Each structure stands twice: as C-alpha cells, then as structure tokens.
Amino acid sequence: MGAGHSHLTERRPAATPGTTRLLWALVGAVLAAVVVGAAVTWPSTFAMLGSQPMLYEGASRVDATVLAVDDATGDITVEVTTEGHEQQTVMSPTGIPSLTFEEGDRIRAIELDDGAVVFSDFERGGPLLALLILYVVLVLAVAWWRGLGALLGLVAAFGIVGFYTIPALLDGGSPAIIGLVTSAGALFVLLYVAHGPNARTTTAYLGTIAGLLVTAVLGTWAVDAARIPGVPDDAQINIAFVEGRLSLSGLALCGLMIAGLGVLNDVTITQASAVWELGAARPDLGPWQLFVRGMRIGRDHIASTVYTIAFAYVGASLPLIMLIAVYDNPLSTAVTSSELAGEVVRTLVGSIGLVLAVPLTTGIGALIVGLGGEALAEPADDEERPQSAAQDSLE
C-alpha cells in the first residue's frame, strides 16, 4: 500500500454474529436497568402538575395590543382582545424602566377583579414559531431522512422529560436514578431513531452510557461536597410547596446529567463513526492500532468540545456574571458563590465525563472493528482507481 496506486476496494467493517449478540446483550442490560429504575421512581400521582394557581383569585389572563404610548407621562393605552374581556384602558405602570413599548406590540396581561390591566409579558409566539419552522426545514433539507429521525427522536426525548422526569421529581423520586433513567432512555430513542440499529450506533450508545455513569458518580459527590443549591434563591420561594419531597441539591444533580447528554451524544457518535471509517479504509489494522489512530481524532473532539461547554455556560450566565462583577468582591469569593458555583460544577463535571467518554467509545469501537469485525466488500467502482492522498496518510 506504500506505492502510489493500489487496487482499492472499499470495505466497511460489520460486527460478526457473536459480537452483535454481545452488543445487544449489553444494550439489553442497560434497558433492563432503565425499566427497573423507571418502575422504582415512577410517580404515584400526576396531580402535582398544574396544581398551583399562577393568578390571584378573581384575576384573568388576557391578550392585548398596545394602541398608544405617551412618552411624557409613561401611560400605555392597550386594547384587550380576549373574548369576554374586551376593553380599552390605560395599563398600570410596569415599574421596570428597561421595558419599552411601541404601538402595535402584542402583549400578555393580567386583568384584576377591579378591571385594571397589569403587564405580564410580550407575546412571542410568532417569532418563535418562525424560527422553529426554519430550523425544521433546514434540518430536513440538509440531513434528509436522518434529520427527520433526529427530529422525531428529539420529540420523543422531550416526551420522556415531560411525562416521566418532571412528575417523578415532583413526586420525590431519587434524582440520581431519575437522571440516569431519563438520559439512558432518551439517548436510546435519539440514537437508534436517527442513526439506525447497527453496531456503530450501539458503540456510541455504550460509550455515552459510560460517560453518563462517570458524570453521575462525580456529580453526586461534587453537588454534595460543594453544597450546590438546586435553584436560585428566589426560585426556592416559588417551589416551597414541594418542600420535603423534592431535594433541591438532587435537582441540580439530575439537571447536570441531562445537560451533558447532548454534548456526550455528539462526541460519541462522531467518534464511533471515525473508528468505523478507519476500519473501512484500513481493514488490516488491529484493535490497538485503531484505538491509537481513533484517539488522534478524539483529541481534536475533546479540545473543541471542552471550550464549547465552557462558553455555553458562560453565555447562559453572562447577565449574572456582569451583576457579580459590579460589586467589590474578590474573584475567588465570586467564583465559589452559590450563584456561580453551580455553573462551575456543571462545566467541570460535564467536561470530565466528556473526556472519559471519548477513549471509552474509541476502545469499544476498536475492539468491535479490530477483533469482532468482518470486512464486507462494498465495491464503490468496478474499475481500479488510484489510492488517494488521504489513504496514504493512513499507512
């Protein structure tokens, strides 16, 4: 193969029947654990969902349109359009100087029992729907059937969160078990619907599960040792009604595992594909050689994704970071404060799980391709073709 040309027939490694049975046995064990975990933590009731009123007695939610804004007095004239509540009135001041209104703005408001209208929020349904449609169209246009599978898997995964995770947490189930069940179950749906039930997908699934277990163990220790609050101080007041049943620190742990799922999935499926392509290009490579070459790619994945996680959390917490920066506070104190410590723990634990998931996935794939794989000839061309420079680089 060191010469400039060769008879090249593309071969794609496929798992032997014995390896396939082993892989599905491992996946079956994971799914069995998921079923048992879901059964143990399944909510005894869903009555908690929607049980707390958002409005005072006698108040109603209404939709309204801004008709006029008086810059001199700050008065905002609105027309309430909700059936049964139609009226034109001057809206009560918001008391928030940063809120600006323009004629034609559609808003959500609260009508009190005396007829006064209080601003609640802006109506954002139109822009959000437009973005959603654009996103779906682009995914389908670029990724075709695989994109459709990913979208369907995403809907199913959100269904797991909505119909199991949230009710189970509100019912007082173990956040660690709930987080693992949610992550493993959602990941199974996402991967196999989007990428198909094959050995490559299974490699990524098992590698991600390994990374999730590391995240769960390390996160359990970190959340407890650092005394990470599950929610900000003001939110603790709003969920006080579940006190005694919902562990706020456990909520932080569950969120940590779910938050790291997407990044882990992205890296492991890409890494598994890289090992498979290496095996297809060089069927003579053994497991160790595949692992070494795969980790060359994996190091790039790790390097790029680690700062992706960090900047994602920085961007999400930027207003909070700016607020903390205003005050005369030592950096060490600010970083270890309850407001930022949770983000630091999420970033570090998620990154550690990611770093370990890459070699684990690469190792699983290298073993399957190098030991259990059999080359299935898939000629790309009936004629001989020159070996590419990329092929030479694999020598």
Q: Which tokens is 156 given?
A: 């199913």
Residues 213 and 88 in one domain: no
Query: Are 99 and 74 contacting, i.e. CB atoms less than 8 angstroms apart?
Result: no
Q: Which tokens is 395 given?
A: 């020598």
Per-residue pLDDT at 385 exceeds 60: no
Per-residue pLDDT at 298 exceeds 50: yes
Tell me what pLDDT residue 230 has: 58
Per-residue pLDDT at 233 exceeds 60: no
Q: Which tokens is 117 given?
A: 């209208």
Tell me what pLDDT residue 185 has: 93
Residues 76 and 213 in one domain: no
Q: In 10 A of CB 273, how many CB atoms? A: 17
Per-residue pLDDT at 389 exceeds 50: no
Q: In 10 A of CB 57, how many CB atoms? A: 6
Residues 230 and 288 in one domain: yes
Band of the pLDDT at 50, cuts 50, 70, 90? low
User: Quick check: is 106 in a domain?
Assistant: yes
Among candidate residues 108, 125, 142, the one where a domain is terminated: 125
Q: Which tokens is 26 given?
A: 């491992």
Among candidate residues 93, 109, 125, the one where a domain is terminated: 125
Tell me what pLDDT residue 253 has: 83
DSSP type of residue 192: H
**Per-residue pLDDT tens digits for 107-159:** 898 888 887 888 888 989 889 999 999 999 999 999 888 899 989 989 999 99
Band of the pLDDT at 323, cuts 50, 70, 90? confident
Tell me what pLDDT residue 24 has: 86
User: Quick check: is 52 in a domain?
Assistant: no
d(CA 361, CA 125): 41
Residues 253 and 347 in one domain: yes
Residues 83 and 120 in one domain: yes
Tell me what pLDDT residue 135 has: 96
Of residues 111, 3, 5, the one with CA closest to residue 59: 111
User: DSSP letter string over 42-97?
Assistant: --S--TTTT-S-SS-TT-EEEEEEEEEE-TTT--EEEEE-STT--EEEEEBP---T
pTM for the complete prediction? Answer: 0.76
Tell me what pLDDT residue 393 has: 36
Residue with the larger pLDDT of the pair 297 and 319: 297
User: Quick check: is 136 in a domain?
Assistant: no
Residues 118 and 260 in one domain: no
User: Quick check: is 6 in a domain?
Assistant: no
User: Quick check: is 152 in a domain?
Assistant: no
User: Quick check: is 151 in a domain?
Assistant: no
Q: In 10 A of CB 80, how many CB atoms? A: 22
CATH number reported for the structural domain that contains residue 288 in this entry = 1.20.1640
Band of the pLDDT at 255, cuts 50, 70, 90? confident
User: Quick check: is 340 in a domain?
Assistant: yes
Tell me what pLDDT residue 232 has: 54
Tell me what pLDDT residue 375 has: 37
Residues 371 and 300 in one domain: yes
Per-residue pLDDT at 303 exceeds 80: yes
CATH number reported for the structural domain that contains residue 65 in this entry = 2.40.50.140
Band of the pLDDT at 51, cuts 50, 70, 90? low
Query: Are 334 and 343 contacting, i.e. CB atoms less than 8 angstroms apart?
Result: no
Give the best-scoring range by mean pLDDT among 250-254, 305-309, 316-320, 352-356. Answer: 352-356
d(CA 55, CA 111): 10
Per-residue pLDDT at 390 exceeds 70: no
Residues 212 and 359 in one domain: yes
Per-residue pLDDT at 3 exceeds 60: no
**Interval 5-27 mean pLDDT:** 64
**Per-residue pLDDT tens digits for 99-113:** 788 888 898 988 888
**Interval 337-363 mean pLDDT:** 85
d(CA 57, CA 72): 34
Per-residue pLDDT at 163 exceeds 60: yes
217-256 exposure pattern, b = at least 16 Cβ within 10 A, e = fewer: ebbbebbeebebbbbeeeeeeeeeebeeebbbbbbbbbbb
DSSP type of residue 382: S
Residue with the larger pLDDT of the pair 114 and 238: 114
Give the best-scoring range by mean pLDDT among 145-149, 246-250, 324-328. Answer: 145-149
Residue with the larger pLDDT of the pair 391 and 83: 83
**Per-residue pLDDT tens digits for 57-78:** 778 888 999 998 887 777 888 8
The count of structural domains within the chain is 2
Residue with the larger pLDDT of the pair 291 and 238: 291
Residues 186 and 82 in one domain: no
DSSP type of residue 387: P
Residues 22 and 72 in one domain: no
User: Quick check: is 202 in a domain?
Assistant: yes
User: Residue 68 is part of which domain span?
Assistant: 60-125
Residues 179 and 250 in one domain: yes
Residues 212 and 301 in one domain: yes
